[in-house]
Amino acid sequence: MTSVDVREADKRVADTLAELRKKLATVSSTKAKPVVPQNQRTVTVAASEQVDKEMLPIPAPLAQIMPGGGLARGSVVAVDGARSVLVSIIAEITASGGYVAVIGLPHLSLHAVEEMGGDLAHVAVVSGQGDPGVFDPVEVAAVLLDGLDLVVVGLGGVSVPPSRARAVMARARAKGSTLMVTDGRWSGVQATLSAQVADYRHLPFRAAGHGRISGLSLSVQARGRGTRVTETRIDVVHADDRVRLVAARPVGAVAAPVTATGGLTIAHAN
């Protein structure tokens, strides 16, 4: 790449960030009061951080295993594995009126977000596909932390240097916006959430080993800094005209009737 190419690439990045700041100013001026779930709880963190943090709304089965009982504003959380967990969090926050940015994840299914009840009008997507080798998802995330409730950033398999990670984490704390990272390494995260597909449910008869997929089960683990791993099993089902995460049925329990839907296939994508 020549010096001219570098200057042009830098100008494109600067123009993109300027446009994001302009859009963010518009969103911030019209955004409703911060989204706080019912029965708000608090989480205790290091003395250098805010002590009583508001929680963002997330599906109840996930809140039960998250350190502190939920997704705290100003925190940084790593998420990996089955995408149903990430999609459900985006859906829950936007359905409650919050605003979410998704950066560097061009293949994340927005249709699955809608299937889970999310409001796509509250989701901003920055794919980064237009400038390979130039797009910096961390820089874009740092800008969007100023005013949004949740910023989700795909790191593209890279490891973010600790010094840079600390600077962005400090910005998240100051702005009260939650940063969620995936597809890479980020040192110093307050919590890690991972999920794997444990089983599929089929219609009309599971034991036959074939048939239409009516749902799936996830094995989900959560860990906070200095805490042990908490694990649960969650079912992804279609009920009340939307796809939901619910606490898994006991082994051997008879499944309630389920309406088959393409949303289940989309929501579980890894």
Report pLDDT digits (tens) over 163-206.
999 999 999 999 999 999 999 999 999 999 999 998 877 666 55
What b/e string do you get for 21-41 counting C-beta neighbours within 10 Å, with b at 16 or more? eeebeeeeeebeeebebeeee
Query: Of the given ranges (110-114, 126-130, 209-213, 214-218), which has the lowest mean pLDDT?
Result: 209-213
Q: What distance in Å separates the CA atoms of residue 264 and residue 109, rounded to the nearest whole number?
A: 12
Q: What distance in Å separates the CA atoms of residue 145 and residue 150, rounded to the nearest whole number?
A: 8
Per-residue model confidence (pLDDT) at position 135: 80
Summary mean pLDDT of the chain? 77
Per-residue model confidence (pLDDT) at position 17: 61
Model pTM score: 0.74
Q: What distance in Å separates the CA atoms of residue 130 and residue 166, rounded to the nearest whole number?
A: 28
Report pLDDT digits (tens) over 22-69.
655 555 454 444 444 444 333 333 433 443 468 999 999 999 999 888
Query: What region, left, alpha or beta, does residue 46 occupy, with left being phi > 0 and alpha being psi -120 to 50 degrees?
Result: beta
Per-residue model confidence (pLDDT) at position 226: 79
Residue 214: CB atoms within 10 Å: 20
Q: What distance in Å separates the CA atoms of residue 248 and residue 216, rounded to the nearest whole number?
A: 10
Query: Distances in Å between the alpha carbon of 28 and those of 120, 145, 185, 218?
Result: 17, 11, 30, 36
- Position 139, amino acid: E
- Position 77, amino acid: V
Residue 266 reports pLDDT greater than 80: no
Instruction: Indicate the angle between helix axes 137-144 and 162-175, nearest 10 degrees.
Output: 20
* Residue with the larger pLDDT of the pair 265 and 89: 89
Report pLDDT digits (tens) over 96-122.
999 999 999 999 999 999 999 999 999
Asked if residue 68 lies in contact with residue 85, where contact means CB atoms within 8 angstroms, the answer is: no
Asked if residue 50 lies in contact with residue 74, where contact means CB atoms within 8 angstroms, the answer is: yes
